[in-house]
Amino acid sequence: MGRRRKRVATGDGVPSPRKEEKAPAPPRKEKKKKTDIGKVFINISIGLCIFSLIWFFYALYMRSSLARRVVTLHPSPRVLDANSSSPAVSPERYWGSYRPQVYFGMKTRSPRSVVTGLMWMHQFAEMDGNLRHTCEQGDHLLGYGWLMHDGVSFGVQEIHDRDFTLTTEFVKRMGGDHGGDWTWRITAKQHGTALSTPVVSLMFYASTDGQGSLQAHVEEKNRVSSVTGTSEELGNFKITFGKPTAGEGASAKYARYNFLQTRSPGLDKLTDIVKNSLNHKFIFSPPKGEKRSYFAVDTYKVTNHQNQQNDPKMESDFVVHQVTVQTPFQIEVLFESGSFRERPNQLVGSVLTDELEKRKVAFDEKFEATFGLQAKGFTSSHIKFAKAALSNMLGGMGYFFGPSVVQSVYNEHPVLYPEGPLFTAVPSRSFFPRGFLWDEGFHQLLLSKWDTQLTQEVFAHWLDLINIEGWIPREQILDDEARSKVPSEFIVQHNENANPPTLFLALQELLEQLDAELVSSQTMLPFLRKLYPRLQVWFEWFNTTQVGPVPNSYRWRGRDKDTNLFLNPKTLTSGLDDYPRASHPSADERHVDLYCWMTLASGVMANVARILGEPHQVYENTHRSLSNNDLLNELHWSENLHAFSDYGNHTQAVSLQQEKVFVPPGQPRHQFPVARLVRSVRRAPKLQYVNALGYVSLFPFLLHILTPDSPKIEHILQAIKDPERLWTPYGLRSLSRADPLYMKRNTEHDAPYWRGPIWININYLAVRALHHYGSIEGPYKEKAATLYQELRTNLMNNVYKQYLETGYIWEQYNDSTGRGQGSHPFTGWSALTVLIMAEKY
Ligand SMILES: *[C@@H]1O[C@H](CO)[C@@H](O)[C@H](O)[C@H]1NC(C)=O
Ligand SMILES: *[C@@H]1O[C@H](CO)[C@@H](O)[C@H](O)[C@H]1NC(C)=O
Ligand SMILES: *[C@@H]1O[C@H](CO)[C@@H](O)[C@H](O)[C@H]1NC(C)=O
Ligand SMILES: *[C@@H]1O[C@H](CO)[C@@H](O)[C@H](O)[C@H]1NC(C)=O
């Protein structure tokens, strides 16, 4: 339509009929005057038109430029240059167990890494379909995790399945231009309790991720002896599969072999492809045993099926080598880089054993030098536990690459953030195998003691994600594998939402190391200098977007809006999810935990600025105002509660009630929706202190903002020590037993989370604060020192005991029984137990 109208008007070279009409008969005078006025009108209208057009496009431009801001990265030079993770710059860290979401697998620190991994199945077990691959709580393993891992060159993991234990070890060897070689050793032993000797299928696999190719080399009996491959990032390489033996030096055992060489549409589909290709037609027939048919990957079916269904361009090579063998057995898998030419020998057998031994000894020595647990008199069992906690955090480090999905108020729909890498620890390999901003600061408190350089790299990765506004998305869900684990409603990250800037805790630790000359200023200062502009905008973002209603107050944005559906609308952004806040979210709120984070952050910023010789006055001023205990008391001390508190539009008189569903008489009830629980408010809210006693009220103490002589410390120590409020034999509970919301569900589906259970990150801060106030002069010194010993003992003993009993370190601990609960293994901040044992704060 539009094009046709235009052609008529311009005439396509044909003289316009209207032009001819205009030419003859000069108009008369009055007519001319009319025309003049007409012309003026026309001109005005044209002017108006042009003006509004310009305005329209300007608005459009502004809108789209505002819409782009959320996905515009900050322009300051990146802390990491583009090649920092490359095998040329950082060969030792190129390969690693950077796939925390699988039980065992390795990849490189690169955007489209070739990945390697292990799946396994227990044949002839009661339940079929027990394929293990990604870490799943539903697998009900008796325990798994790294027992030793130095974060760089080797690791030892034990995986306790129902009837047998797999030990998965790896060792790397440097050489060539692509991060060198590595070898895996998988050892399987049956449990004494197993009713029969388990027959286990190990499925070793390699897959490309849109780059490079793989070729399986198959010898007789379907056995893949090796896979050769090539990719831009890795060059040529070869993966060799050893035969299973009963142990090092023993001869090969009876085994059956199967393989699959196919194409996969994505790394998140590998489990499904293997599952769908399983066939029961293969026969396992050991020399002295019965003949039985077992499940194995079937070569042909899936290959054809896949090729027909998908666009081959989008697909990646995927090779699976399946070995089916009876326990006990040991198998080695060797990766060799084509560019490693002067290899003295192969890293297998006794060479591997010797290398492993050396690394284990070095690990033990470094562990003792770092944490000194032996010197403190801990038993070897305690020390083994502590090593496992640290190792699983190190072994749980991931390297992710991709875009977040984000949205600002200017975006009608979610948009993709720029693609980027993230090298980070993760809270839980099963449940949260991805980066979380507020967890990361806690992770780095532990990791920085072990490896300062690692912490600097992680820091740099996170800060390089900052956008032009100074915002960092708080949950990093970067690739399809990560997205496949997150319910869709939680994927989009909103740029008005903060998360506690715990990285300032880790930065404070780095500055202390610099001060104590534990790290060289030659590496630290350039790092800080590059980091600084990003830290500045990050601080600025908090200091402007999260301001509170009165000067020097702060407020978390992004609380749940649908007040009717929650007993207390959640504040996910604060990290403390369902911890009780004002019952009716409003702009009148002020949050004491955020106030304290800002006090900490401004102090650390002032220090960094001073060290770098940058203007630091503005941070110092902010820090001084916020540290003023009179201001803190005025904004947050509740006389009724005798504790620090949030303030807002609040009422305690709320409860969840069954919604009334009107069922017309005579109609069957089941045809109507099930009555939901909705909130009923018995007394109207008003502006007041929220008066919930728990972790949030402890923050001025936890982050050392109270002066040692503050009489508020007395009240806090009383609340901490009171079993009716926060004290339990297992650590401090998150919310006082006396609080009306203690252990209350937030909806019918939402169990209490930060409303009673014991969390280790906050307990770590609590022992650290007791240690602090117990070592500096003040009226509460002795009391704090005594409580410190008690709390520390309770925490260590319980986390350790639960680990022995359950095989796991947990997300949280039950405040009445001490039992571990929630996701597991949780060797994110719960691993801070190591620092509590070592008394390193
Ligand atoms: C990174 O490596 C590539 C390819 O080796 C090279 O072209 C580029 O100059 C390097 N960039 C930096 C910043 O070192
Ligand atoms: C933080 O914001 C307050 C105003 O809300 C301002 O007075 C202060 O200077 C800011 N601090 C910094 C370090 O920018
Ligand atoms: C508190 O919330 C109620 C219910 O939303 C509202 O009617 C009232 O105006 C609020 N009070 C203040 C002071 O904002
Ligand atoms: C803690 O344990 C008690 C007793 O077994 C139980 O009633 C309570 O529900 C548990 N708490 C949580 C959060 O599961």
Q: Which of 363-372, 480-489, 535-544, 746-755 has the lowest mean pLDDT?
A: 480-489
Q: Please say if the pLDDT value at position 620 is more than 60.
A: yes
Question: Is CATH 3.40.630.30 what the domain over 91-371 is classified as, yes or no?
Answer: no
CA of 82 to the centre of ligand 1 (A): 7
- Cα first-last separation, the chain: 73
Write the pLDDT tens digit of every residue in 391-414.
999 999 999 999 999 999 999 999
Q: From CA 556, how far away is CA 566, in angstroms rounded?
A: 18
- Output the pLDDT for position 407: 96
Q: Please say if the pLDDT value at position 525 is more than 70.
A: yes
Q: What is the DSSP string of 263-287?
A: EES-GGGHHHHHHHHEEEEEEE--T
* Cis ω for the linkage preceding 312 (within 30 of 0): no
Please work out whether the CB of residue 82 comes within 6 Å of at least one atom of ligand 1: yes
Write the pLDDT tens digit of every residue in 311-330.
555 689 999 999 999 999 99
Contact criterion met (CB below 8 Å) for 286 and 337: no
Q: What single-letter DSSP state applies at residue 255?
A: E
Q: From CA 613, how far away is CA 532, in angstroms rounded?
A: 11
Please work out whether the CB of residue 125 comes within 6 Å of at least one atom of ligand 2: no
For a pocket test of ligand 2, which of 594, 621, 622 has the largest count of ligand atoms closer than 8 A to its C-beta?
A: 622
> 329 by DSSP, 3-state: which?
strand
Please state the domain extents for the chain. Answer: 91-371
Residue 704 C-alpha from the chain's centroid: 27
Q: Let me know if 12 is a catalytic residue.
A: no
Spell out which residues line ligand 4, taking CB within 6 angstroms.
752, 757, 814, 816-817, 821
Of the candidates 433, 349, 359, 353, the one whose C-alpha atom is nearest the C-alpha of residue 103 is 433
For residue 551, which atom of ligand 2 is closest to its CA? 5
Question: Taking residues 655-676, what's their average pLDDT?
Answer: 78
Q: From CA 505, how far away is CA 521, in angstroms rounded?
A: 19
Return the percentage of the chain with pLDDT > 90, whole number. Answer: 83
> Greater confidence, 1 or 103?
103
Contact criterion met (CB below 8 Å) for 463 and 529: no
CA of 754 to the centre of ligand 4 (A): 13
Write the pLDDT tens digit of every residue in 108-132.
999 999 999 999 999 998 765 689 9
Stated pTM of the model: 0.91
Return the percentage of the chain with pLDDT > 70, whole number. Answer: 93
CA of 337 to the centre of ligand 1 (A): 21
For residue 817, which atom of ligand 4 is closest to its CA? 2
- Output the pLDDT for position 33: 58
- Output the pLDDT for position 21: 39
Q: Let me know if 811 is a catalytic residue.
A: yes
Write the pLDDT tens digit of every residue in 797-835.
999 999 999 999 999 999 999 999 999 999 999 999 999
For residue 309, give both structure tokens: 């269904």
Q: Please say if the pLDDT value at position 19 is more than 90.
A: no
- Print burial letters for 249-276: b (CB count within 10 Å at least 16), e (below 16): eeeebebbbbbbbbbbbbbbbbbebbee
For residue 528, give both structure tokens: 């800080």
**In this structure, how many other beta carbons lie within 10 angstroms of the beta carbon of residue 299?**
18
Please work out whether the CB of residue 77 comes within 6 Å of at least one atom of ligand 1: no
Q: Phi and psi of 211, rounded to 5°?
A: -145, 130
Instruction: Out of 577, 748, 750, 790, pick the active-site residue.
Output: 577
Q: What is the DSSP string of 18-41?
A: HHHHHSSSPPPHHHHHHHHHHHHH
Q: From CA 769, how far away is CA 781, in angstroms rounded?
A: 11
* Cis ω for the linkage preceding 825 (within 30 of 0): yes
For residue 719, give both structure tokens: 């609340």
Contact criterion met (CB below 8 Å) for 463 and 79: yes
CA angle 333, 338, 343 (to 5 degrees): 75
For a pocket test of ligand 4, which of 814, 821, 823, 824 has the largest count of ligand atoms closer than 8 A to its C-beta?
A: 814
